[in-house]
Amino acid sequence: MTVDTSVRLPGLHVKNPVMTASGTFGYGLEFAPFGDLRSLGGIVVKGLSLLPRLGNPMPRIAESPSGMLNAIGLQNCGVEVFLRDKLPRLPFTETPIVANLYACDADEFAELAGVLSAAEGVSALEVNISCPNVKAGGIAFGQDPAMAGRLTEAVKKRAGDKPVWVKLSPNVTDIVSIARAAVLGGADALTCINTLTGMAVDIRTRRPRLANIIGGLSGPAIKPVALRCVWQVCQAVSAPVIAVGGIASAEDVLEFILVGAHAVQIGTANFMRPDMAFRIAKRLPVLMEELGIKSLDAYRGTLEVPAS
Amino acid sequence: MAISGVCRDVSILSVAPVGPHGEQYGCYFLELDNPGFPPAVAGQFVMVRPEAFGSDPVWPRPFSICRLTPEKLTLFVQACGRGSDILCRLKPGERATVWGPLGQGFALEPDVPTVMLAGGVGLAPFVEYVATHPAPANLSLVFGHRQPRSCYPFDAMAKTIRATAFEEKTPADLPQFIALLEKTVAEFAGGLILACGPRPFLVTVARLARRFGARAQVSLENRMACGVGGCLGCVEKNALGNYVQTCTEGPVFWVEELKLSEDA
- CB of B48 within 8 A of CB of B73? no
> Distance between CA A264 and CA A287 in Å, rounded?
16
Beta bridge partner(s), residue A41: none
Q: Using only the alpha carbons of chain B, give its radius of gyration.
A: 18
Beta bridge partner(s), residue B68: B73
Give every CB contact of residue B169 below 8 A, 6+ residues apart in sequence.
Answer: B146
Q: Is residue A209 part of a domain?
A: no
Instruction: Give A13: exposed, middle or buried? Use CB within 10 Å, 0-12, 13-18, 19+.
Output: exposed
- What does the pLDDT average to over B175-187? 97
Using CB atoms, which residue from B224, B229, B236 is nearest to A30? Answer: B229
Per-residue exposure over A75-108, b if at least 16 CB sit within 10 Å of its own CB, e if not: bbbebeebbeebbeebbbeebbbbbbbbbeebeb
Which residues on chain B are in Cβ contact (under 8 Å) with A275?
Answer: 7
A25 with B225: Cβ contact below 8 A? no
Q: Which residue has the higher pLDDT, B18 or B5?
A: B18
Which residues on chain B are in Cβ contact (under 8 Å) with A204?
Answer: none
Q: What is the DSSP letter of B139?
A: E
Contact with chain A for residue B81, Cβ under 8 A: no
Domain that holds residue A25: 7-55+72-197+217-299
CA distance to partner chain B, nearest, from residue A110 (Å): 26
Mutate to test the interface with B, among A31, A54, A58, A222 (most CBs of B within 10 A): A58
pLDDT tens across B68-109, in order? 999 999 999 999 999 999 999 999 999 999 999 999 999 999
Kindly report the number of other CB atoms within 10 A of residue B70's CB atom: 8
pLDDT over 70 (residue B4): no
Q: Which of A131, A192, A229, A234 is catalytic?
A: A131
Q: What is the pLDDT of residue A104?
A: 85
Q: Is A131 one of the catalytic residues?
A: yes
Report how far apart the first and last C-alpha atoms of chain B are (Å, whole number). Answer: 22
- On average, the pLDDT of chain B sits at 95
pLDDT tens across B210-245, in order? 999 999 999 999 999 999 999 999 999 999 999 999
Q: What is the pLDDT of residue A136?
A: 41
Q: What is the pLDDT of residue A308?
A: 79
Quote the Cα angle for A225-A228-A233, to 5°.
Answer: 125
Q: Is residue A251 part of a domain?
A: yes
Number of cross-chain residue pairs from A and B with Cβ atoms under 8 Å apart: 104
> Distance between CA B137 and CA A160 in Å, rounded?
67
Q: What is the pLDDT of residue A81?
A: 96
Q: What is the pTM of this model?
A: 0.96
> Distance between CA A247 and CA A98 in Å, rounded?
19
Number of domains in chain A: 1
Q: Is residue A32 part of a domain?
A: yes
> Distance between CA A69 and CA A48 in Å, rounded?
20
- CB of B18 within 8 A of CB of B67? no
pLDDT tens across B35-49, in order? 999 999 999 999 999
> Distance between CA A269 and CA A251 in Å, rounded?
14
pLDDT over 80 (residue B264): no
Give every CB contact of residue B31 below 8 A, 6+ residues apart in sequence.
Answer: B12, B13, B14, B15, B16, B72, B73, B74, B75
Q: Is residue A18 part of a domain?
A: yes
> Distance between CA B77 and CA B79 in Å, rounded?
6
pLDDT tens across A10-37, in order? 999 999 999 999 999 999 999 999 999 9
Task: Mark out the alpha helices in A10-162 (DSSP H runs).
Answer: 79-81, 106-117, 139-143, 145-158
Which residues on chain A are in Cβ contact (under 8 Å) with B248?
Answer: 30
Q: Is residue A141 part of a domain?
A: yes
> Distance between CA A199 and CA A210 in Å, rounded?
8
Beta bridge partner(s), residue B63: B46
Q: Is residue A60 part of a domain?
A: no
Confidence label for B261 from pLDDT (cuts 50, 70 and 90): confident
Q: Which residue segments constitute the domains of chain B, with CATH numbers given?
A: 6-102 (2.40.30.10), 114-257 (3.40.50.80)
Which residues on chain B are in Cβ contact (under 8 Å) with A74?
Answer: none
Contact with chain A for residue B262, Cβ under 8 A: no
Which residues on chain A are in Cβ contact (under 8 Å) with B223?
Answer: 59, 61
Which residues on chain B are in Cβ contact (under 8 Å) with A46?
Answer: 232
Instruction: Give B171: exposed, middle or buried? Use CB within 10 Å, 0-12, 13-18, 19+.
Output: exposed
Instruction: Give B187: exposed, middle or buried? Use CB within 10 Å, 0-12, 13-18, 19+.
Output: middle
Using CB atoms, which residue from B82, B228, B233 is nearest to A60? Answer: B233
Q: Is residue A65 part of a domain?
A: no
Using CB atoms, which residue from A31, A60, A75 is nearest to B230? Answer: A31
The separation between CA A18 and the C-alpha centre of its own chain, rounded to angstroms, equals 11
Beta bridge partner(s), residue A198: A215
Q: What is the pLDDT of residue A132?
A: 44
Q: Which segments in chain A show pLDDT lower than 70?
A: 131-140
A55 with B6: Cβ contact below 8 A? no
Mapped onto helix, strand or coil, the DSSP state of residue B16 is strand
> Distance between CA B40 and CA B70 in Å, rounded?
11
Identify the contact set of chain A against chain B, taking CB-CB distances under 8 A.
23-26, 29-34, 46, 54-55, 57-61, 63, 65-68, 70, 72, 75, 219-220, 248, 268, 270-275
- Nearest chain A residue to B226, by CA: A271
Q: Which of B237, B259, B103 is nearest to A55 (CA)?
A: B237
One-letter amino acid of B107: A
What ipTM did this prediction achieve? 0.95
> Distance between CA A119 and CA A22 in Å, rounded?
18
Q: What is the pLDDT of residue B1?
A: 46
Q: What is the domain-level CATH number for residue A152? A: 3.20.20.70
